[in-house]
């Protein structure tokens, strides 16, 4: 079964990230869906716009760094990198790095308000 990743289809950075990850997804384990078309996710539109969301086949959700980490773990070429990202001391750095990138997206609607 596939993970579902909700991404911002109006964001050039998000679309570029999606294209890169699609190239890594040789086993087709990710189903990409625009967050603008997502219904009944349990998340507000603002939450979805803040960071990438991944919904696992069992219905649990991973956001931001944790979503990226899971995707990297599932791709054959990046599986080892994903595994390394599970080391406890890398979690704070990964969360911080993800937040810096997410907060500085030029397509972020929070900057347009």
Mean pLDDT of 98-110: 76
H helices present in the chain, as ranges: 12-24, 45-50, 65-74, 79-84, 90-103
Does 109 reside within a domain?
Answer: no
Asked if 78 and 20 touch (Cβ cutoff 8 Å), the reply is no
In a domain, residue 36? The reply is yes
- Of 20, 110, 103, 50, the closest CA to residue 6 belongs to 50
The pLDDT tens digits of the residues spanning 46-96 come to: 888 889 999 999 999 999 999 999 999 999 999 999 999 999 999 999 999
The count of structural domains within the chain is 1
Amino acid 107: pLDDT: 67
Tell me if 40 is assigned to some domain: yes
Domain region containing 89: 3-104
Q: Is residue 112 part of a domain?
A: no
Per the domain annotation, does 110 fall within a domain? no
**113 inside domain:** no
* Residue 66 within any structural domain of the chain: yes
Of the two residues 40 and 9, the one the predictor is more confident about is 9
pTM above 0.75, yes or no: yes
Using DSSP's 3-state secondary structure scheme, residue 76 falls into: coil
pLDDT (tens digit, 9 = 90+) per residue, 7-21?
Answer: 999 988 999 999 999
The answer to whether residue 111 is domain-embedded is no
């Amino acid at each position: 079964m596939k993970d579902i990743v909700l991404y911002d289809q109006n964001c050039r950075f998000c679309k570029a990230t999606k294209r890169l990850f699609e190239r890594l997804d040789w086993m087709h384990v990710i189903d990409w869906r625009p967050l603008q078309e997502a219904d009944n996710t349990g998340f507000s539109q603002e939450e979805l716009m803040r960071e990438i969301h991944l919904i696992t086949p069992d219905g649990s959700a991973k956001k931001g760094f944790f979503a990226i980490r899971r995707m990297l773990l599932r791709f054959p070429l990046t599986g080892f990198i994903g595994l390394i990202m599970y080391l406890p001391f890398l979690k704070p750095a990964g969360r911080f790095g993800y937040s810096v990138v997410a907060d500085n997206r030029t397509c972020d609607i929070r900057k347009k308000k």
